[in-house]
Amino acid sequence: MPESAPHKDMPSSKGPQHGPLAEARQEAGAQGAGRQPASTKDQPGQEKHAPSSSGTTADQVASLKAQLAEPRSIAIVTHARPDGDAIGSSVGLMLALRQMGHEARVVVPNAYADFLAWLPGLEGVLDHQTQTEQAAQIMAEAELVFCLDFNTPARLESLAQRLLKSDATRVMIDHHRDPEGFTRFRWHDTGASSTAELVYGWLEDMGELHRINRDVATCLYIGMLTDTGSFRYSNTGPRTLRVAAALLEHGVDVEGCYARIYHTFSEDRMRFFGHCLANNMRIFPEYRTGLIHVSRAELECFRVRTGDTEGLVNYPLSIQGIVFSAFIVDRTNLVKLSLRSKGDLNVDAIAREHFSGGGHRNASGGISNTDLDSTVQRFIDLLPTVPGLTA
Ligand code: 5GP
Ligand code: MN
């Protein structure tokens, strides 16, 4: 993720980021697959107190606090191919929960990128793909499962069944649009920059901010840094910078964090970016759109590793006049799309409607079950139908 083409998550800043931090609710009886809450607002008849800046109801805080009053076995799960926010928020929460006296582990569906491999606390992370038995045991034994940085169990891929099978109390902490109702507790705010920012709010609500030390602060800071493109996307609000400032009070090494995330390209990766920009980028000025496609052969040829494609999708947006960008890549079993936009263009809606995906207004992703060439053609064909693209 180079400076000019940084991160994936670019949620809308239109949310009430400056009001209540998190809209948390207790979905009595809602835990279980498939239940879709009517709305993300508090349900009628549910009295809303505001014991803290988060807008969390006192009942929910008290109920979860009571469950955490004695040492618990806790699993934290996050989405497949976890990014900086997924890992930073999960590991930061894990370290804080351990200090609260709990046994906490993070279970990821599959590998995270190498540029995150220096974070503190990673020894507590289990990869469900390569450490399946251990991960299964943690999931089976967990009394609580925290679900971080995803809004639907589908984003856990093969780990989803283990989550849905377990009797553990589930707690969502997330900022993606339209969360599904698979958790009992929910700290959710699409106006938050990142899940890491919401984990800070969760600790605040639980009266546990004093658990934050340099390691916790570093993990949460990395989540915020990566999801905001180094605090420059529109999801960066006053609250984001206030939380970041509070984290810096704990001794986060700002320059070191930046260098470890953004200045760690391999030569292969840099040449791969060059190749994509020179040979695989198509620009459609009439639709203010750019597109980069990559075949499986190219991934092999450039020895592309997990996380290496991250940030490429942002490059077309640096071209004057381009407001919509897609990165389409042929992965082993499926064709994956990343969509990005500037301004009001809602790529969450496009990903949902055409590519079985979703995400945020300005950053979303999805999949296609046709081959690369036909997916690229399908994407080009839909451009005239996207409202607001033609100048
Ligand atoms: P990326 O394009 O970097 O993989 O993801 C960008 C955003 O879209 C992230 O917020 C991510 O959560 C969301 N996203 C990516 N792929 C998918 C997908 O296949 N399904 C859904 N629902 N969301 C996705
Ligand atoms: Mn995120």
Asked if 56 and 165 sit in the same domain, the reply is: yes
Given 217, 232, 261, the domain boundary residue is 261
Structural domain contains residue 390: no
Residue to mutate (ligand 1; options 8, 87, 195; most atoms within 8 A of CB): 8
- The CATH number linked to 144 is 3.90.1640.10
CB 221 within 8 A of CB 193: no
Q: 359 C-alpha vs ligand 2 centroid, how far in Å? A: 9
pLDDT band, very low/low/confident/very high, at 359 (cuts 50, 70, 90): very high
Q: 72 C-alpha vs ligand 2 centroid, how far in Å? A: 26
pLDDT at 27 over 90: no
CB neighbour class for 4 (10 Å; exposed up to 12, middle 13-18, buried from 19): exposed
Asked if 271 and 242 sit in the same domain, the reply is: no
Instruction: Provide the number of structural domains found in the chain.
Output: 2
pLDDT at 6 over 50: no
Asked if 249 and 322 sit in the same domain, the reply is: no
How much of the chain, in percent, has pLDDT values that exceed 70? 85
What is the mean pLDDT of the segment spanning 279-308? 96
Asked if 224 and 143 sit in the same domain, the reply is: yes
pLDDT at 105 over 60: yes
Asked if 89 and 183 sit in the same domain, the reply is: yes
Structural domain contains residue 94: yes
- Helical H runs in 166-306? 195-205, 214-227, 238-248, 254-262, 267-279, 296-301
- The CATH number linked to 301 is 3.10.310.30
What is the mean pLDDT of the segment spanning 344-349? 96
- Give the span between the Cα atoms of 381 and 291, in whole angstroms: 13
Q: What per-residue confidence (pLDDT) applies to 50?
A: 33
- Give the span between the Cα atoms of 298 and 60, in whole angstroms: 50
- Give the span between the Cα atoms of 375 and 355, in whole angstroms: 10
The region of weakest confidence among 23-27, 215-219, 330-334 is 23-27
pLDDT band, very low/low/confident/very high, at 30 (cuts 50, 70, 90): low
Q: Can you tell me which atom of ligand 1 is nearest the CA of 151?
A: 22
- Helical H runs in the chain? 58-67, 84-99, 132-141, 160-165, 195-205, 214-227, 238-248, 254-262, 267-279, 296-301, 347-355, 372-382
Asked if 117 and 223 sit in the same domain, the reply is: yes
Q: What per-residue confidence (pLDDT) applies to 7?
A: 37
How much of the chain, in percent, has pLDDT values that exceed 90? 82
Sheet containing strand 125-127, edge to edge, reads 23-26, 185-188, 169-174, 144-148, 73-78, 103-108, 125-127
The pLDDT tens digits for 256-276 are 999 999 999 999 999 999 999
Ligand 1 neighbourhood includes 176 CB (under 6 angstroms): yes
Q: What per-residue confidence (pLDDT) applies to 17?
A: 37
Q: What per-residue confidence (pLDDT) applies to 390?
A: 85
Q: Which ligand is nearest to the CA of 199?
A: 2
pLDDT band, very low/low/confident/very high, at 349 (cuts 50, 70, 90): very high
The pLDDT tens digits for 35-64 are 333 333 333 223 233 333 344 688 999 999
Range of the domain at 225: 23-261
pTM of the model: 0.84
The pLDDT tens digits for 294-309 are 999 999 999 998 789 9
The region of weakest confidence among 16-25, 173-182, 205-214, 235-244 is 16-25
3-state secondary structure of 282: strand
Q: What per-residue confidence (pLDDT) applies to 12?
A: 41
Question: Which one has a higher pLDDT value, 84 or 1?
Answer: 84
Structural domain contains residue 11: no
Q: What per-residue confidence (pLDDT) applies to 149?
A: 98
Asked if 247 and 277 sit in the same domain, the reply is: no
Asked if 235 and 280 sit in the same domain, the reply is: no
Asked if 160 and 77 sit in the same domain, the reply is: yes
Structural domain contains residue 391: no
